[in-house]
């Protein structure tokens, strides 16, 4: 018995937890080329079950990571939401159907796919860009943080002791699946939050035998370790919020039912309750049903063993009646308790950050939780990546907390409203059409937020707000703090088309997007010349900042989008700095794009400037952050302000 | 020395050659689940170079095979063709640009990607559906064919002796790459047709040492072994045609040039000749230049060693002048001789078939050769697959020769015209605008053929022609013998959209597509009921034919496409036979589709019936062959004729 050798290593960043938020953060470590590790207590990745809903904004980010084509190939797209309520004589009727008003503001639409495949795609992308691998079956058992070292960029203020679990320990226990006997069922109770946290148990057990123990010194730590977050507990950060927990059952099954909307997103309300239908890939359908309420204020506990697959099946049969409902194949099922809770802060000092379920919990029924969690990881990931790479000021890390906390609050508010429509009997009593109306209202109220079309990032050194809610006069719909609205453009030299989500690849660089306007107009060409002259200068913002070591000489990439007809412009008529020459790779044809119709691609409709409310003649200059959010917008004459923006964000050479 | 053990095995089909046509044939062996082998004399697959142009029709087939999303992600789409000629004062000018007139008749557009990736995707698809693997480093050394056994479906009339080459033999010799010294260059001369055929050499050499020798008895043989086809020679089938050979140089490079259209498909004519520019993935550009003419009638031989990379570079520099041209990276280069030659027949008896370059050779400059070759393999593949599976009548194999020979003749005619525009000095002399005009004429003349929009399959037991050129009155643009024109549809139960190219998956089955018309009209509903009643009958065409063993109970899949608005129809209102129930998988929601606008998918425009010139109220019935070509079109009352069609094609249980 006793400890094995103790290793000691120094790394830039340690990520605890390889779920969606941890993997998104790890993606950035891979792209920025910093020394990072990502550990997970479980011995294998998730293969099925768990979260499944991908919203537009997440899909846009996936496109910028180069994996969206795989989602499109395997996922199930479902846009409309249907509302079923009791009709006359014990029937159920489809009372309303809701289609998102701004459904075409994104190239991608709500897609359902199991978490296992989603994590697979992110892992493949990480592997493509680095040697970073998830280390599974490893647990953290102590965390020390020396705040005195915070301000020294070369210091390692974080000390974590890691312990490698043995094979048996990483197979966490859960209750056996109980299908109808004829089926093999994977249940997800081992990862359900109904389980008491097993972290301490695992540490105790692994101490009783020979285990590899390791001390890691890190500059940054990201805790992505879920609702029971060990990291959060070490930091004494509480979760605050609702005192009522609802217990929900969920199952992924292949349905045998004559209910017409079993393959469409639907809510079904009946005298015996309300359920949610989510169609999925490979004939699967996910069903959510509320099964119990626990009052935590009175110390309410709940006996998990009372929830079985058969119990969930019967609840669904009751709600769907008079339609028939049965299944032979259950891919996965679980139960979990739901409460809206949030941590008051998502960070500790300037070096430790928490993301995803570790800092906000809520019901999964809005199909948004995994999205917000992934976007948390995406947000902190690039910031730590660039700071650890020695490219960006450490102060950009201060923007994580305000940017993501506000989003998490919105998420909880949405969930409170939405969950209430499922469980509030008062609403039920007011009559079915009122209930449907109220549900549609909730969906509409939070729609832009849910799809990520509205983001709410406040002013900071990364977001230079203009006066008022809109963007500046030259491009009113390009609003600092909001996402860069996707558009499909035509490449000037090549004629091929591409979405900006793919064009502005998430590779760690900021993009300066020059909306060059109408290059047929001589006065405009002179404006472009003047700006280009400035940018080509010795100490311009394109050349003055530290590199991303081993990746890019400059952390800023300049991309031009003009508004003249494609056939009336030529690549070589643009100033050199807009289309640089590499001695080996030749001219960079991917830098000049055009907002014009492409007759063989309907999505490329020449409406980009209009969509952005940008002046078609005079254009604008836009800073797009590495995560595709808008940082700054100005005119072609505002090069000094542009430089000041970057001086506040990036380190000089 | 001497022979090793001789093995003997019995298989359904042997494919010699694992290039594009062989792999497409092998795909069907995998899908139909028959016992097949595919061998290739080379020790490794192609990784780079070779053919690179994918036309619309091929991409549609890839979609039906489930690999098109990978092409879209990696390939370079280029549609317009530009024509450059000398201007005043020694300049070059872009004299014309051609855009295909029917560019939107296919969901997919000309895409450039190297052959290595394309083969990779097909191989992955084969692996997904079977255990069939390409056996490399194996050569055939004798072929016997017993015609007396032809008519016995249980007999193995083909005997082939295979020999496993050793490691050194499979590394074929080629001249070393000669770049500028500073670059690593892969040259493709080892696979160039300038090399004397090395098959006999390989056999001789391998006989001199211990080699594994094996006798294979096969029911069917497909020779896909390229321009020097060993299989064709064993059958004493000649290649006939042109007596003039042109020697061409080709290179895949990353260009450093100020020529504006280096990233667009272009022809460039100058006093020193004409060349072709083909943009590609990963910054590569392929350049074709004619370098020599050989008169084979006078026994003209050609010294291959006179062609070097530097020589090709200089030719390009001369033609592109006054634009600069250089490169540092050459991914691949080769030279080959070109003549339009075709075999008088593509088959021997009813059991041996030849496909691809083995039976038609031509220049690669029309970007079509690999496409026609793959389509050859695709055509013979499903036929042999279904016959060997015991599902289809052997007589369907007779359709291969007439269907593909005619297409190959068209290909050669296109190539003769197109090559002439490059090399004919007379054309050059008539003036540059005449030359451009003539080139555009050639492109326009063969455009529909090249993109596969027009197919020319004649009447046969697989193609029941209607009177005249058009389709029947109920759906004039659904023409037997032509491809099923792709359309994007909305799934009735799910709301998701899909292209018919993906929906009618190439899985070995025939599709009966019921255009159900307007299901809101009662008289039409009665017609649908009557047809459904017939199809649900005991011995209908859905149930009477032999299965595809281990794959599908019925070799026919019924798919319904109605024309009522999506919200005014319900899945369960359609008769049972149109939406069958499986006791485990539930109802099959993938069977009922709708031609209606989808607001979140611009490609799904509700114009499908119009595109097909189908009666929006009364609809039609269409038989789509496993390869997505139309076999039969009729009215809803023509169920007897429908059954007669299938009685001629499929075997009864």
Beta bridge mates, B8? B215
Q: Is the dihedral of CA A38, A42, A48, A54 positive or negative?
A: negative
Q: Could you give the CA distance from residue B476 to residue B457 in angstroms, rounded to a whole number?
A: 17
Same domain, A447 and A507: no
Task: Residue A73: list chain B partners with CB under 8 A.
Answer: 69
**A621 touches A635 (CB < 8 A):** yes
pLDDT over 70 for what percent of chain B?
89
**pLDDT tens per residue across span A592-607:** 999 999 999 999 999 9
Nearest by CB to residue B493, choosing from A70, A263, A602, is: A263
Q: Are strands A3-16 and A211-223 parallel, antiparallel or unpaired?
A: parallel
Same domain, A515 and A418: no
pLDDT average, residue stretch A84-103: 90
| pLDDT interval class at B426 (50, 70, 90) | low
**B136 touches B170 (CB < 8 A):** yes
Task: Residue B567: list chain A partners with CB under 8 A.
Answer: 97
Same domain, B442 and B556: no
Number of domains in chain A: 2
- With CB atoms and an 8 Å threshold, state whether A72 touches B76: no
Look at residue B255 and give its three-state secondary structure: strand
Mean model confidence pLDDT for chain B = 89
Q: Find the domain containing B537 and state its range.
A: 488-649
**B462 touches B400 (CB < 8 A):** no
Q: Could you give the CA distance from residue A476 to residue A455 in angstroms, rounded to a whole number?
A: 16
| pLDDT interval class at A454 (50, 70, 90) | confident
Q: What are phi and psi of A516, to 5 degrees?
A: -80, -10
Task: Residue B494: list chain A partners with CB under 8 A.
Answer: 76, 78, 263-264, 279
The answer to whether residue B447 sits within a structural domain is yes
Residue A186's pLDDT is what? 67
Q: What are phi and psi of B140, to 5 degrees?
A: -90, 135
Residue A182's pLDDT is what? 41
Separation in Å, CA of B73 to nearest CA in chain A? 7
Separation in Å, CA of B586 to nearest CA in chain A? 4
pLDDT average, residue stretch B607-612: 97
- Between B429 and B245, name the one with better pLDDT: B245
**pLDDT tens per residue across span B344-385:** 999 999 999 999 999 998 877 777 889 999 999 999 999 999
Same domain, A417 and A559: no
- With CB atoms and an 8 Å threshold, state whether B493 touches A256: no
pLDDT over 90 for what percent of chain B?
70
Residue A185's pLDDT is what? 64
What is the ipTM metric for this complex?
0.90
A502: closest chain B residue by CA: B73
Nearest by CB to residue B279, choosing from A104, A494, A567, is: A494
Nearest by CB to residue A76, choosing from B77, B99, B496, is: B496
User: Which of the listed residues A451, A473, A504 is the one where a domain comes to its end?
Assistant: A451
Residue reference for tokens 């860069």? A484
Q: Rounded to a whole number, what is the largest CA-CA distance in chain A? A: 81
User: Which of the listed residues B401, B429, B451 is the one where a domain comes to its end?
Assistant: B451
Task: Residue A78: list chain B partners with CB under 8 A.
Answer: 494-496
B280: closest chain A residue by CA: A494
- With CB atoms and an 8 Å threshold, state whether B494 touches A571: no
Beta bridge mates, A333? A187, A251
- With CB atoms and an 8 Å threshold, state whether A493 touches B80: no
Separation in Å, CA of B389 to nearest CA in chain A? 27
- With CB atoms and an 8 Å threshold, state whether A600 touches B79: yes
Q: Rounded to a whole number, what is the largest CA-CA distance in chain B? A: 82
Q: Determine which of A29-43, A135-149, A357-371 has the lowest per-residue pLDDT on average.
A: A357-371
CB atoms within 10 A of CB A370: 23
**B446 touches B417 (CB < 8 A):** yes
How many separate helices (H) and strands (E) can be counted in chain A?
A: 16, 32
pLDDT average, residue stretch B83-103: 90
Same domain, A502 and A444: no
Residue A207 DSSP code:
H
pLDDT average, residue stretch A318-344: 91
- Between A144 and B6, name the one with better pLDDT: A144
Q: Show the tokens assigned to A228.
A: 């029971």
Separation in Å, CA of A364 to nearest CA in chain B? 22
- With CB atoms and an 8 Å threshold, state whether B263 touches A109: no
Q: How many Cα atoms occupy the beta-carbon half-sphere of B85 within 13 Å?
A: 19
Same domain, B90 and B9: yes
Task: Residue B278: list chain A partners with CB under 8 A.
Answer: none
Q: Could you give the CA distance from residue A615 to residue A523 in angstroms, rounded to a whole number?
A: 14
The answer to whether residue A480 sits within a structural domain is no
- With CB atoms and an 8 Å threshold, state whether B328 touches A283: no
Q: Could you give the CA distance from residue A202 to residue A200 in angstroms, rounded to a whole number?
A: 5
Which residues contact residue B642 at a Cβ distance below 8 angstroms, ignoring those fewer than 6 apart?
B512, B541, B621, B623, B632, B634
Same domain, B427 and B520: no
Separation in Å, CA of A329 to nearest CA in chain B? 7
Q: For A267-281, what is the HEC assignment?
A: EEEECCEEEEEEECC
Task: Residue A496: list chain B partners with CB under 8 A.
Answer: 76-78
- With CB atoms and an 8 Å threshold, state whether B257 touches A586: yes
Give me the CATH number covering residue A344.
3.50.50.60
How many beta-carbon pairs below 8 A join chains A and B?
112
A572: closest chain B residue by CA: B260
Total residues found in chain A within this entry: 653
B258: closest chain A residue by CA: A572
Q: Could you give the CA distance from residue A157 to residue A217 in angstroms, rounded to a whole number?
A: 7
**pLDDT tens per residue across span A58-84:** 999 999 999 999 999 999 999 999 999
Find, among A285, A283, A284, the residue nearest to A275 by Cα. A285
Q: Are strands A76-77 and A111-112 parallel, antiparallel or unpaired?
A: antiparallel
Give me the CATH number covering residue B638.
3.40.30.20
- With CB atoms and an 8 Å threshold, state whether B263 touches A69: no
Identify from B495, B502, B599 which residue to disrupt to test chain A contact, counting A C-beta atoms within 10 A and taking the largest count.
B495
| pLDDT interval class at A303 (50, 70, 90) | confident
- With CB atoms and an 8 Å threshold, state whether B584 touches A494: no
Same domain, B135 and B225: yes
Task: Residue B328: list chain A partners with CB under 8 A.
Answer: 583-584
Same domain, B526 and B615: yes
pLDDT average, residue stretch A616-641: 97
Total residues found in chain B within this entry: 653
pLDDT average, residue stretch A90-118: 91
Same domain, B321 and B423: yes
Mean model confidence pLDDT for chain A = 89
Separation in Å, CA of B67 to nearest CA in chain A? 9
B328: closest chain A residue by CA: A584
| pLDDT interval class at A181 (50, 70, 90) | very low
Q: Could you give the CA distance from residue A575 to residue A571 in angstroms, rounded to a whole number?
A: 9
Task: Residue B571: list chain A partners with CB under 8 A.
Answer: 260
The answer to whether residue A459 sits within a structural domain is no
- With CB atoms and an 8 Å threshold, state whether A496 touches B255: no
Task: Residue B602: list chain A partners with CB under 8 A.
Answer: 602-603
Nearest by CB to residue A254, choosing from B103, B255, B585, is: B585
- With CB atoms and an 8 Å threshold, state whether A602 touches B603: yes
B598: closest chain A residue by CA: A79
Q: Which helix (H) or strand (E) holds B10?
A: strand B3-16
Q: How far is CA A604 from the centre of its chain?
A: 26
For the cut 90, the answer to whether the pLDDT of residue B593 exceeds it is yes
**pLDDT tens per residue across span A494-549:** 999 999 999 999 999 999 999 999 999 999 999 999 999 999 999 999 999 999 99
**pLDDT tens per residue across span B178-231:** 334 344 566 666 566 555 566 777 776 666 666 789 999 999 999 999 988 999
A103: closest chain B residue by CA: B600
The answer to whether residue B459 sits within a structural domain is no
Residue B77 DSSP code:
E
User: Which of the listed residues B406, B435, B451 is the one where a domain comes to its end?
Assistant: B451
Dump the DSSP string for B575-622.
-GGGS-EETTTEE-GGGEEE--EETTEEEEES-HHHHTTB-TTT-EEE
Residue environment code for A578-595, b if the CB has 16+ CB neighbours within 10 A, otherwise e: bbeeeeeebbbbbbbbbb
Separation in Å, CA of B467 to nearest CA in chain A? 33
B112: closest chain A residue by CA: A496
The answer to whether residue B406 sits within a structural domain is yes
Identify from B496, B567, B576 which residue to disrupt to test chain A contact, counting A C-beta atoms within 10 A and taking the largest count.
B496
The answer to whether residue B478 sits within a structural domain is no
Identify from B99, B112, B281, B586 which residue to disrupt to test chain A contact, counting A C-beta atoms within 10 A and taking the largest count.
B586
Same domain, B375 and B498: no
- Long-range residue pairs from A639-648, CB within 8 A, at least 24 positions apart, any chain: A639/A531, A639/A534, A639/A535, A641/A464, A642/A512, A642/A541, A643/A540, A643/A541, A645/A464, A646/A510, A646/A541, A646/A545, A646/A556, A648/A393, A648/A461
Residue A478's pLDDT is what? 96
pLDDT average, residue stretch A456-475: 86
For the cut 90, the answer to whether the pLDDT of residue A5 exceeds it is no
Same domain, B443 and B495: no
**pLDDT tens per residue across span A565-583:** 999 999 999 999 999 999 9
Residue B479's pLDDT is what? 95
For the cut 80, the answer to whether the pLDDT of residue A442 exceeds it is yes
Q: How far is CA A202 from the centre of its chain?
A: 30
Look at residue B644 and give its three-state secondary structure: helix
Nearest by CB to residue B586, choosing from A97, A257, A581, is: A257
Nearest by CB to residue B104, choosing from A581, A583, A600, is: A600
Residues of B forming the active site: 52, 280, 288, 364
Nearest by CB to residue A599, choosing from B70, B103, B255, is: B103
Beta bridge mates, A551? none
Residues of A forming the active site: 52, 280, 288, 364
Rounded to 10 degrees, what is the CA torsion of B138, B144, B150, B154?
-60
The answer to whether residue A61 sits within a structural domain is yes
A102: closest chain B residue by CA: B600
């Amino acid at each position: 018995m006793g400890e094995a050798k103790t290793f000691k290593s120094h790394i830039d960043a340690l990520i605890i937890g390889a779920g969606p938020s941890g993997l998104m953060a790890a993606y950035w470590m891979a792209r920025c080329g910093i020394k990072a590790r990502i550990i997970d207590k479980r011995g294998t990745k998730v293969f099925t079950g768990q979260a499944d809903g991908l919203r537009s904004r997440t899909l846009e980010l996936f496109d910028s990571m180069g994996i969206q084509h795989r989602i499109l190939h395997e996922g199930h797209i479902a846009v409309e939401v249907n509302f079923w309520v009791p009709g006359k004589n014990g029937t159920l009727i489809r009372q309303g159907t809701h289609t998102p008003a701004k459904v075409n503001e994104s190239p991608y639409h709500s897609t359902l796919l199991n978490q296992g495949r989603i994590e697979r795609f992110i892992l493949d992308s990480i592997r493509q860009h680095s040697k970073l691998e998830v280390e599974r079956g490893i647990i953290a058992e102590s965390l020390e943080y020396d705040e005195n070292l915070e301000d020294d960029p070369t210091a390692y203020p974080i000390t974590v002791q890691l312990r490698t679990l043995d094979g048996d320990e990483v197979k966490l226990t859960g209750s056996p699946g109980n299908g109808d006997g004829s089926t093999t069922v994977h249940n997800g109770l081992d990862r359900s939050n109904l389980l008491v946290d097993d972290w301490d148990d695992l540490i105790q057990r692994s101490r009783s035998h020979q285990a590899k123990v390791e001390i890691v010194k890190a500059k940054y730590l990201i805790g992505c370790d879920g609702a029971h977050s060990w990291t959060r507990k070490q930091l004494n950060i509480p979760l605050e919020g609702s005192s009522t927990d609802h217990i929900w059952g969920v199952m992924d099954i292949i349905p045998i039912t004559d209910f017409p909307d079993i393959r469409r997103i639907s809510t079904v309300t009946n005298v015996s309750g309300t359920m949610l239908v989510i169609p999925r890939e490979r004939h699967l359908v996910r069903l959510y049903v509320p099964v119990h309420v626990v009052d935590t204020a009175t110390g309410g506990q709940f006996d998990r063993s009372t929830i079985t697959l058969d119990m969930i099946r019967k609840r669904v049969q009751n709600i769907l009646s008079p339609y028939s409902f049965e299944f032979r194949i259950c891919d996965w099922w679980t139960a979990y308790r739901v409460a809206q809770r949030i941590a008051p802060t998502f960070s500790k000092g300037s070096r430790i950050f928490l993301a995803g379920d570790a800092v906000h919990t809520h019901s999964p029924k809005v199909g948004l939780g995994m999205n917000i969690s992934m976007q948390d990881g995406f947000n902190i990931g690039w910031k730590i990546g660039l700071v650890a790479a020695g490219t960006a000021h450490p102060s950009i890390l201060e923007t994580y907390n305000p940017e993501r906390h506000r989003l998490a609050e919105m998420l909880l508010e949405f969930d409170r409203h939405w969950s209430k429509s499922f469980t509030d009997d008062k609403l039920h009593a007011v009559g079915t059409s009122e209930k449907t109306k109220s549900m549609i209202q909730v969906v509409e109220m939070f729609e832009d937020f849910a799809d990520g079309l509205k983001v709410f990032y406040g002013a900071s050194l990364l977001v230079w707000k203009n006066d008022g809610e809109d963007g500046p006069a030259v491009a009113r719909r390009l609003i600092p703090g909001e996402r860069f609205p996707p558009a499909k453009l035509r490449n000037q030299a090549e004629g091929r088309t591409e979405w900006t989500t793919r064009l502005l690849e998430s590779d760690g660089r900021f993009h300066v997007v020059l909306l060059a306007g109408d290059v047929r107009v001589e006065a405009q060409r002179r404006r472009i010349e003047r700006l280009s002259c400035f940018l080509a200068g010795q100490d311009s913002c394109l050349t003055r900042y530290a590199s991303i070591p081993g990746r890019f000489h400059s952390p800023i990439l300049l991309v031009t989008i003009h508004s003249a007809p494609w056939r009336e412009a030529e690549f070589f008529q643009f100033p050199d700095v807009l289309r640089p020459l590499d001695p080996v790779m030749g001219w960079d044809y991917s830098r000049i794009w055009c907002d014009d119709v492409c007759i063989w691609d309907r999505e490329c409709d020449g409406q980009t400037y209009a969509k952005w409310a940008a002046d078609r003649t005079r254009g604008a200059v836009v800073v797009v952050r590495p995560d595709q959010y808008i940082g700054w917008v100005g005119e072609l004459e505002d090069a000094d302000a542009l430089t000041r923006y970057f001086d506040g964000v990036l380190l000089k050479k």
